[in-house]
Amino acid sequence: MDSAAPGPSFALTDEQAELQRVVRQFARERVAPRAEAFNARAELPLDLVGEMGQMGLFGLPFPEEVGGSGGTYLDLCLALEEIGRVDQSLGITLEAAVGLGAMPIYRFGSDEQRERWLPPLARGEQLAGFGLTEPGGGSDAGALRTRARWDGDAWVIDGSKQFITNVGTDVSAFVTVAAVTADDPREITNFVVPTGTPGYVVGQGYRKVGWHASDTRDLAFSDCGVPADHQLGEQGRGLANFLSILSEGRIAIAALAVGLIQGCVDECVRYAQEREAFGKPIGAHQAVAFKIADMEAAAQLARNQYRYACWLLATGQRFTREAAIAKLHATEQAVAAAREACQVFGGYGFTTEYAVGRFYQDAKILEIGEGTSEVQRMLIARDLGLPR
């Protein structure tokens, strides 16, 4: 009888454990002390982005021959969890730069396009955006109004996008854009639109509930022309290609959410040991201790799920359902953990003087970005064979 194929192991390799240690130290020593200042100013700390680039974080899942670090998607998720443990804004900057900005070039670009655009992204010297979401679309990702027409020697794009990350910084190089390229609205093709292209206008940004220090903009395209070699991937395959990018990205968002939950545990354990009420530390009261214990349980379970999805991805197996489960569970638990962490801190939790206040601001978007909780449930239901 043939032995069963080996199952997943959640044990980290020595190299992964070292990566985790290095990123955790960077997050605690370089990011955490400045996180609230950048949050208050709604300013992305580009110097820290540069340091992350020098550490090789932006190139983690890409091979060395294209300027990457030669790691895996799990390596990226480990880094996201550690950064997100102290600052979600910087965490989503890394996640969007790698998973949404650079990954479409790596997955669907030609050899020439990879050579041209991927190395500076993998080194963290440039950032790129992912232009799918539109004002009238939301969760209906295929309902695109942005159009691209061939005009003899160039593709000319007209339309708009919203809630796009990393397109308005001093190091933003381009955005990849999904646009309808035929009378049939189902024919969608992707394009690379460099920053500064005539007809491409980057908006001023949003007043957001959370993720204050990340860069989020709306985009407009008016007679915006790009040459033929800026078409990314096969014509008509744009939506399918972008949706596959989102499937991978859901694992990364789950890792970011786990970072938030673990950050809540870190802050609450420290505070519950120091803060006293009724003659003893508040952590000695079961009402507080049980809240923190539930947060730790949530973090452990969500971490196991995203690592399982990473294992499926790495071994070439279907991972769509598991990625949706990872994102759904981790993000909803992150919202619950942030709420309970603020309760542990009492009035102080309603300020951003403490990290739990920022976590409370940042948590909700995790249930929305890269596919809402409702979309994740829809994907899970469809994968179970339930009727559409």
Residues with catalytic roles: 370
Q: What are the beta bridge partners of residue 66?
A: none
Residue 159, C-beta contacts closer than 8 angstroms, at least 6 positions apart: 134, 144, 145, 146, 147, 179, 220, 221
